[in-house]
Amino acid sequence: MDNADDELLQLAAMRMPFGKYKGWLLIDLPEPYVVWFANKGFPEGKLGRMLQVVLEIKVNGLEYLFEPLRQGAGSHNFESIRPQKK
């Protein structure tokens, strides 16, 4: 597993630590809420970086990347969801 996979796994498990959606998985936050953060300014540190990634994933329609994790896949194999190189 490479670093990108590790970051994706961390993102899939990270929860919102405060606010209206406290306790929600970051990947499950409503898009308008994440856009609001983008407009107001993301928090400092890892949370802010993760929220920026969530925003990119949502606005680009890539939520499907998290489906294997939501389905409780024990062994996370991202090869099956990675775009194939031509």
User: Would 80 be classed as within a structural domain?
Assistant: no
User: Would 79 be classed as within a structural domain?
Assistant: no
For 33, other C-beta atoms within 10 Å of its C-beta total 16
| 46: Cα separation from own chain's centroid | 12
Which residue range forms the structural domain that includes residue 24? 3-74
User: Would 37 be classed as within a structural domain?
Assistant: yes
| pTM flag (> 0.85) | no
Count of structural domains within the chain: 1
Taking alpha carbons only, the member of 27, 9, 16, 26 closest to residue 73 is: 9
> In 14-71, where does DSSP find H-type helix?
31-40, 45-59, 67-70
Q: Give the chain's end-to-end CA distance (angstroms, integer).
A: 21
pLDDT digits (tens, 9 = 90+) for 4-62: 778 888 888 999 999 999 999 999 999 999 999 999 999 999 999 999 999 999 999 99
